[in-house]
């Protein structure tokens, strides 16, 4: 795990913050199951999810999806927080963001990365980040908790919801939702897939900009984040013993949840 501060020089990996439209970063699986409709962003878990906007000194603004997991920390993907040869200028997290409106504003202060090389095969399974933020305006939402379970400990298939700021929906200006999609299987040596070992396959529809989005499970005791949307994989994946489909890739929350307990509070 690597800790970085906002005065550091970040490295950019073109893996899917909203301004990137790479063809192999996230995908719609078969029919697009994200409805074209508005949702109430003032209720759980949507109130805690928002747009993370990052601006380097010599580059264009980039964004990903993030979720408030503590009053002063948001969860996203590690690859959202590295810029090649660009010095970081400033960043903001906007909860419940929709077309310039949001419930609360936070300024980025520092961050903790699960890996500094999330584009590598070994690094992809650690593609998570915790971003320290300072609340500056608006009504702060309630944080969402992380399940803190390893990929191998989850029960598959697991029904989840994904809310992300996908670039194909008004360039990420409105959230898109895939409700009732699935975490399919942890990628192990015995699973037929070209996805990196240690990641989780899922069939939630997503496009660039949804990197870092929480895959949220509804439980009797409330909502919890069981995985983090990391990347797309257009290679075929056999998870039904006969049919092959493209998948998207997520990482579990075990390491991120443990790291959160070690982060000092504001």
Amino acid 76: pLDDT: 97
* Same domain for 156 and 136: no
* Same domain for 139 and 7: yes
Radius of gyration of the chain (CA): 17
Say whether 203 sits in a helix, a strand or coil. coil
Amino acid 114: pLDDT: 95
Tally of structural domains, the chain: 2
Token pair for 261: 């307990």
Question: Can you give the residue range of the structural domain that contains 240?
Answer: 145-253
- Locate tokens 């949840």: which residue? 257
Question: Residue 258: phi, psi to the nearest 5?
Answer: -65, -40
The angle subtended at Cα 257 by Cα 111 and Cα 3, nearest 5°, is 25
Whether 133 maps to a domain, the answer reads yes
Question: What's this model's pTM, rounded to 2 decimal places?
Answer: 0.87
Token pair for 228: 């983090």
* Same domain for 177 and 220: yes
* Same domain for 198 and 224: yes
Say whether 170 sits in a helix, a strand or coil. helix
Tell me, what CATH number does 86's domain have?
Answer: 2.40.10.10
Q: How far is CA 222 from CA 84, 96, 138, 149, 150, in A?
A: 39, 19, 24, 16, 20
Render each residue's pLDDT in the chain as its tens digit; 266 residues. Answer: 544 433 332 232 333 444 433 334 567 888 888 888 888 999 999 999 999 999 887 777 889 999 999 999 999 999 898 765 566 678 999 999 999 999 999 999 999 999 988 888 888 999 999 999 999 999 999 999 999 999 999 999 999 999 999 999 999 999 999 999 999 999 988 887 777 889 999 999 988 899 999 999 999 999 999 999 998 765 444 444 444 567 889 999 999 999 999 999 87
Contact 65, 52 (CB under 8 A): yes
* Same domain for 119 and 18: yes
Whether 33 maps to a domain, the answer reads no
Report the distance separating Cα 79 and Cα 251, nearest Å.
12
Token pair for 33: 């199951």
């Amino acid at each position: 795990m690597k800790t970085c501060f906002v005065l550091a020089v970040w490295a950019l990996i073109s893996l899917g913050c909203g301004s990137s439209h790479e063809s192999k970063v996230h995908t719609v699986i078969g029919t697009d199951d994200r409805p074209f409709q508005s949702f109430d962003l003032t209720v759980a878990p949507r109130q805690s999810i928002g747009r993370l906007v990052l601006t380097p000194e010599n580059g264009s603004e980039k964004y990903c999806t993030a979720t408030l997991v503590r009053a002063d920390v948001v969860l996203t993907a590690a690859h959202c927080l590295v810029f090649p040869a660009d010095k970081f200028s400033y960043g903001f997290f906007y909860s419940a963001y929709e077309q310039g409106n949001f419930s609360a504003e936070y300024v980025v202060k520092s961050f903790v990365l699960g890996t500094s090389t999330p584009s590598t095969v070994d690094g992809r399974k650690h593609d998570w980040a915790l971003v320290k933020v300072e609340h500056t305006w608006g009504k702060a939402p309630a944080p969402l908790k992380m399940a803190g379970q390893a990929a191998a400990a989850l029960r598959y298939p697991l029904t989840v919801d994904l809310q992300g700021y996908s670039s194909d929906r008004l360039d990420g200006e409105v959230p898109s939702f895939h409700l009732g999609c699935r975490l399919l299987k942890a990628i192990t040596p015995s699973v037929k897939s070209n996805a990196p070992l240690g990641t989780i396959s899922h069939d939630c529809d997503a496009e660039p900009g949804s990197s870092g989005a929480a895959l949220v499970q509804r439980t009797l005791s409330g909502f919890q984040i069981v995985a983090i949307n990391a990347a797309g994989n257009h290679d075929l994946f056999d998870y039904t013993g006969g049919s092959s489909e493209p998948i998207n890739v997520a990482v579990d929350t075990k390491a991120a949840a443990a790291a959160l307990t070690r982060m000092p509070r504001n």
